[in-house]
Amino acid sequence: MQLCVIGAGYVGLVTACCFAEMGNRVVCVERDPVRLARLARGDVPIYEPGLEALLRAHLASGQLSFSASMGEGVRNAAIAFIAVGTPTGEDGSADLSHVLAVADELGEALQQPCLVVDKSTVPVGTAERVGQRINRRLASRSMSFRVRIASNPEFLKEGSAVEDFMRPDRVILGCDDGQSTEQLRRLYAPFLRNHERVLCMGVRAAEFTKYAANAFLATRISFMNEMAGLCARLDVDIEDVRRGIGSDKRIGTHFIYAGCGYGGSCFPKDVRALIRSAELEGFEPGILRAVEARNALQKTLLFQSVREHFNGLLQGRIVAVWGLAFKPGTDDLREAPSLVLLDALLAAGAKVQACDPVACNGMQGRYAEALESGQLQLTESPYSATESADALVLVTEWKQFRQPDFARIRGLMRMPVIFDGRNIYDATELAGLGFLYRGIGRPLAGHCKASAA
């Protein structure tokens, strides 16, 4: 099939590469000239396992190409996917300016009928607006054809985006006519040997499903974080509770990990947008508000815990921070809990020695001053980050931080204190090695004489 993917961001690029991998001819339209030039050279601007190999293979095979021109992109395209960003607008709602601008451009560029599919996460009713805008322009150009529209939300996760796209849990096809459903079904057939995983519904239901999925997952996390707060006060380990409830099939083991809060490009933005949608409908989204409030609080916990440990005196303290990306497997720093911690530590006068396997490049802009003055240092090795440190804070659970040589770290640190923002360490083992250990929603373990200093 001849396809056009508009937007070479996370979702667009993965979509374009994976459709090309399945033998489609894909033109990806990208406006940013720098990004476009990098992609055309086979250079992926984000860290995503497997993506660069796909990009290079299909640039070479000619199945995939990039263009700055919408006209070129949609020439002969049977389906055009809109995969541009929907950032948070000033009032918390999804900012649709990019999506609507694409609709206008499509209305000007299309020379033949085409199915226009929204892959961006957009509020209910957006696909309809997109269709109307395109068709209005087609009418003003005296074109005799009109476009059909569909919603096909994307559920890929950063860090496993290619795998998620190639082997999806489900594909949601939101179409209001049979022809569009059939067209998309055919396109997705090679990805789904198990056809039960294709779920067909109306356009509006598909748009809502994406928000509901992300909001539900965020709710599970915030719920567990609230339970963790209570556990900490009742001398109960949230990790025991997590295992205890996760073994119930109705609850399941995923997305019930307490920690220092969720971040990334989706959960925070989508929860906010859903709250705004509810407000616009005059509906009170009490649960969603609580989910968001709990997460905002959760992101401050690590700092509160460190400050409390040092009796509010952080000036001159050296704090090692392991993990900056919002989760392992990505270089994405958007809404990352690490940023909240770093901002507070630096403002309180602490020196920070941070280590992340791939996300350090993204620190230059926001922390230029602290990097320049040396108050913030980025290290390649997790061990160098702990040199002379008064505390170690684990923020992102990268594999390389899971089983470090704690005896070596004990020797490197000035004070053996660990704040575990993801509850990945064995509290008893660390206490045995002479560390003071604080997790999220776990009883305090070990003791540290120097901590009174």
Residues at the site binding ligand UDX, with contacts judged by CB under 6 A: 154-158, 214, 217, 221, 255-257, 259, 262-264, 266-267, 326-327
Is 266 catalytic? The answer is yes
Instruction: Output the 3-class SS for the chain.
Output: CEEEEECCCHHHHHHHHHHHHCCCEEEEECCCHHHHHHHHCCCCCCCCCCHHHHHHHHHHHCCEEEECCHHHHHCCCCEEEECCCCCECCCCCECCHHHHHHHHHHHHHCCCCCEEEECCCCCCCHHHHHHHHHHHHHHHCCCCCCCEEEECCCCCCCCCHHHHHHCCCCEEEEECCHHHHHHHHHHHHHHCCCHHHEEEECHHHHHHHHHHHHHHHHHHHHHHHHHHHHHHHHCCCHHHHHHHHHCCCCCCCCCCCCCCCCCCCCHHHHHHHHHHHHHHCCCCCHHHHHHHHHHHHHHHHHHHHHHHHCCCCCCCCEEEEECCCCCCCCCCCCCCHHHHHHHHHHHCCCEEEEECCCCHHHHCCCCHHHHHHCCEEEECCHHHHCCCCCEEEECCCCHHHCCCCHHHHHHHCCCCEEEECCCCCCHHHHHHCCCEEECCCCCCECCCHHHHC
Check whether 334 is labelled as a binding-site residue. yes
Check whether 428 is labelled as a binding-site residue. no
CB of 217 to ligand UDX, least distance (A): 6
d(CA 82, CA 7): 7
Check whether 156 is labelled as a binding-site residue. yes
CB of 259 to ligand UDX, least distance (A): 4
Check whether 399 is labelled as a binding-site residue. no
CB nearer to ligand UDX: pick between 138 and 266: 266
Q: Assess contact for 353 and 386: CB atoms under 8 A.
A: yes
CB of 335 to ligand UDX, least distance (A): 8
Q: Assess contact for 205 and 239: CB atoms under 8 A.
A: no
**Candidate list 18, 231, 260, 266, residue with the active-site label:** 266
CB of 326 to ligand UDX, least distance (A): 5
CB of 387 to ligand UDX, least distance (A): 27
Check whether 269 is labelled as a binding-site residue. yes
29 forms bridges with which residues in the sheet? 6, 67
CB of 169 to ligand UDX, least distance (A): 9
CB of 267 to ligand UDX, least distance (A): 5
CB nearer to ligand UDX: pick between 262 and 310: 262
Check whether 56 is labelled as a binding-site residue. no
Q: How many CA atoms lie within 13 A of 186 on its CB side?
A: 12
Check whether 255 is labelled as a binding-site residue. yes
CB nearer to ligand UDX: pick between 47 and 310: 47
CB nearer to ligand UDX: pick between 107 and 153: 153
Check whether 35 is labelled as a binding-site residue. yes
CB nearer to ligand UDX: pick between 168 and 446: 168
Check whether 284 is labelled as a binding-site residue. no
Q: Which residues are catalytic?
A: 266
Annotated binding site for substrate: 155-158, 210, 255-259, 263, 327
Give the residue numbers of the binding site for NAD(+): 35, 86, 121, 158, 269, 334
